[in-house]
A = this chain, B = another copy of it.
Amino acid sequence: MELDLGPEVAQFRAEIRDWIGGHAPAGLADLTDWNNVVTTGGYGSEQRAAAMRHPSYAEWEHELSDARLICPQWPAEFGGNGLDAVRVSVFNEELYRAGVPRVVRGMGESLVGPSVIVHGTPEQQAYFLPRIISGEDVYCQGFSEPGTGSDLAGLQTKGEVDGDEVVITGQKLWTSGAARANKMFVLCRTDPAAEKHAGISYVLIDFTDPRVSYRPVRQLTGAAEFCEDFLDGVRAPLFNVIGGLGNGWRVAMTTLGYERGGSASVQHLAYEREFWALTETARKRGVAADARIRQQLAWAYTQVEIMRFAGLRALAGLAQGRRPGPEASINKLFWSEYHKRLGEIAMSIEGSDALIRPPGDGYPTTGWQNAFLASRAGSIYSGTNEIQRNIIAERALGLPKEPRVPA
């Protein structure tokens, strides 16, 4: 069943479908399962990379750029198209239908841009935003540190103001996309005397600076999608401090609020495809008639469908003008717990064969082995599920916070 979002959205859908039909290079279609990257963290980046290597990609990028459909959710005054979340979803759906990738600007689009739009000065907006849209500036995130996992505000990276510059020294962790980035948005402590959440500043730095070094951190999957970064006196002009010195926590929180959105109605697609692949595996292995396996697959199907239903409901709510509630945290909890279980079901279905990896150097794995292993990260990164449960309990249910411990 297709969602009825009212005549205006229907008209938008018709127009954007027309536009895509008229402009998308045929050769790009089906090259990329682009929506994989929305939630499953890293898994899918190879498909995206493949699409980006395609000769038609640049042409498609150009078309989208001309139509202001890169960062299309940004307000028109900042180079976007001012699409609301409903229209972004429709845009995503129509791209998916046409089988072409959305051209995204990663964390520049989803995190840095919104921060600059909300907290930046006109001069900062004029300088930083066009470079994100054009793809000139590619950002990676410098928030987490070895000592700060869930407790982000406990960060230790120093930012010393020296004249009209900030000099940043410290260690960051869990940076994805470091190799592709030329910029990093960093949280650092510019006022060590201030209260924990105060005294933090949000700074954009040059990631190609010689005082930046990084090394990949290998994960249990065998891949190394994250990096550990060493900032050794990196200098950035005060111009690059967003929201002013000491205001970084607020800027970062605004940012995080924008981290997920517009993907509601396409998020389930990758899981759906994965589910059917697993049923196919079960059939091939002759266990699709086993009552125990059937129960588990029916359970998994239910979870995937609920993602679809929840996405449609969220979208309908947005179309009716509802402000999003705790959906982001619930959604994160839901898919990450689901995917761990799915990985386990896949191992059950694979049985003894799951014991054996494909040959090759390093630690190559089968798709199911990788899903099983990679899924364990879902409940850890981007706010552990323990933190998500706190957020849900406090914000959606109004349960009291953990009492503050006297320091």
As for how many copies of this chain the complex holds, the number is 2
A3 interfacial contact with B, CB 8 Å: no
A295 interfacial contact with B, CB 8 Å: yes
Q: Which residue of B lies closest to A292 (CB)?
A: B291
Q: What is the bound-complex CA distance between A291 and B406, given in angstroms? A: 54
Q: For residue A403, which residues in chain B have a CB less than 8 angstroms away from its CB? A: 403, 405
> Chain A 345-380, CB within 8 Å of chain B: the 1/0 string?
000000000000000000000000000000000000
Q: For residue A406, which residues in chain B have a CB less than 8 angstroms away from its CB? A: 406
Q: For residue A292, which residues in chain B have a CB less than 8 angstroms away from its CB? A: 291-292, 295
Q: With both chains docked as a complex, state the minimum distance between the C-beta of A295 and any C-beta of chain B, in angstroms.
A: 6
Q: Which residue of B lies closest to A405 (CB)?
A: B403
Q: What is the bound-complex CA distance between A264 and B49, given in angstroms? A: 62
A123 interfacial contact with B, CB 8 Å: no
A66 interfacial contact with B, CB 8 Å: no
A4 interfacial contact with B, CB 8 Å: no
Q: With both chains docked as a complex, state the minimum distance between the C-beta of A187 and any C-beta of chain B, in angstroms.
A: 27
A290 interfacial contact with B, CB 8 Å: yes
Interface size band for A: under 10
> Chain A 363-407, CB within 8 Å of chain B: the 1/0 string?
000000000000000000000000000000000000000010110
Q: For residue A295, which residues in chain B have a CB less than 8 angstroms away from its CB? A: 292
Q: What is the bound-complex CA distance between A295 and B291, given in angstroms? A: 11
Q: What is the bound-complex CA distance between A406 and B403, given in angstroms? A: 9
Q: What is the bound-complex CA distance between A295 and B294, given in angstroms? A: 14
Q: With both chains docked as a complex, state the minimum distance between the C-beta of A403 and any C-beta of chain B, in angstroms.
A: 5
Q: For residue A291, which residues in chain B have a CB less than 8 angstroms away from its CB? A: 290-292
Q: With both chains docked as a complex, state the minimum distance between the C-beta of A289 and any C-beta of chain B, in angstroms.
A: 10
Q: What is the bound-complex CA distance between A406 and B407, given in angstroms? A: 12
> Chain A 285-326, CB within 8 Å of chain B: the 1/0 string?
000001110010000000000000000000000000000000
Q: With both chains docked as a complex, state the minimum distance between the C-beta of A389 and any C-beta of chain B, in angstroms.
A: 16
Q: What is the bound-complex CA distance between A403 and B291, given in angstroms? A: 48
Q: What is the bound-complex CA distance between A291 and B295, given in angstroms? A: 11
Q: What is the bound-complex CA distance between A402 and B291, given in angstroms? A: 44
> Chain A 209-244, CB within 8 Å of chain B: the 1/0 string?
000000000000000000000000000000000000
Q: Which residue of B lies closest to A293 (CB)?
A: B291
Q: With both chains docked as a complex, state the minimum distance between the C-beta of A344 and any C-beta of chain B, in angstroms.
A: 15
Q: What is the bound-complex CA distance between A307 and B215, given in angstroms? A: 51
Q: What is the bound-complex CA distance between A403 and B403, given in angstroms? A: 9
Q: What is the bound-complex CA distance between A403 and B406, given in angstroms? A: 9
User: For chain A residues 246-305, which have a beta carbon within 8 Å of chain B?
Assistant: 290-292, 295
Q: With both chains docked as a complex, state the minimum distance between the C-beta of A188 and any C-beta of chain B, in angstroms.
A: 29
Q: Which residue of B lies closest to A295 (CB)?
A: B292
Can you name 8 A-B pairs with beta carbons within 8 Å? A290-B291, A291-B291, A291-B292, A292-B292, A292-B295, A403-B403, A403-B405, A406-B406
Which are the 7 A-B pairs with shortest beta-carbon distances? A291-B291, A403-B405, A291-B292, A292-B295, A406-B406, A292-B292, A290-B291
